[in-house]
Amino acid sequence: MRSYITLFGAVLALVISFLIFTNFPAANRPYTILRGFFSEISGIALKIFDMPMRRVREYYDLYIDVIHAKKEVIELRKKMDALYLECARLREMERENIKLRKILELSEKNTYRMTVAQVVGEDVKSWHKCIIIDKGTDSGIRERMAVISPRGLVGQVMEANRKSSKIMVINDTNSAIDVYVEGKEIRGIAEGSGFSTLKLKYVKKNEEPEIGDRLITSGKDGIYPKGIPLGIVVNVDRKKGGIFLDIDVVPFANYRVLDQVIVLRK
């Protein structure tokens, strides 16, 4: 008898979980609260578990750094000399830019405040590409905020809890970003494939993207600001049927090795 009650409960729970998945409001709302509660706990637990791991990694990195330090110092000195010259040239360009902006009466739009966050975990399932960061709504992070790294675009905030947030990275199959090919009048949608490369879609065959072209965000999707580097074109297939090209893109920011990210707060 007891096992039949359990069976009935399991079937009922199965139906409820199905309704939650279909976003049925009566089932979804209470479940969101419950899930949020567990996400809070998991966020705190991840922070605690991440501490010793981070320390081990720091010591390992320190050891590796010491080994390579001498060689790098020589290389960096050479680079530094070159950068001094480049810096002087850029300063001059900036001055010129300010002057031109004043002339055109342009003001800086889309000013974002930045929040730096540590990556403390990764999605427990390989079905989705998601990372977990140690900052949440307490730090002003909200859903649909863009997340970047010094290399380029990482993704967007998918779920913000008080102390942690889940970031859907650009490799996820649910991710789609409006982009331009830098220096060319080509626009397309960069979609995640679930693997290490992205697909640049809706670029017509009469357009001329090439291998090595860089992609930047267009700012027209309302989530990602304009001009953030996204990735580089690694393959252009013109033989595929249809009116659009089949283009593979490797993102600049590899989410698997990210340690810190920057959340752009609107």
- The residue from 49, 59, 84, 202 that contacts another protein (CB under 8 A) is 49
Instruction: Give me the residue label for tokens 């479940």.
Output: 31
Helix axes 2-21, 25-104, angle to 10 degrees: 30
Question: Cβ closer to another protein: 4 or 111?
Answer: 4
Q: Does 202 bind another protein (CB under 8 A)?
A: no
Rounded CA separation 114/146 (Å): 10
Site string for another protein, 8-47 (x = CB under 8 A): -xxx-xx-xxxxxxxx---xx--xx-xx--xx-xx--xx-
Residue 122, burial from CB neighbour count under 10 angstroms (0-12, 13-18, 19+): middle
Q: Does 59 bind another protein (CB under 8 A)?
A: no
Q: Does 197 bind another protein (CB under 8 A)?
A: no
Question: Cβ closer to another protein: 174 or 235?
Answer: 174
Give the binding site for another protein (CB under 8 A).
2-3, 5-7, 9-11, 13-14, 16-23, 27-28, 31-32, 34-35, 38-39, 41-42, 45-46, 49-50, 53, 57, 119-128, 130-132, 158-159, 166, 168, 172-174, 193-195, 254, 256-257
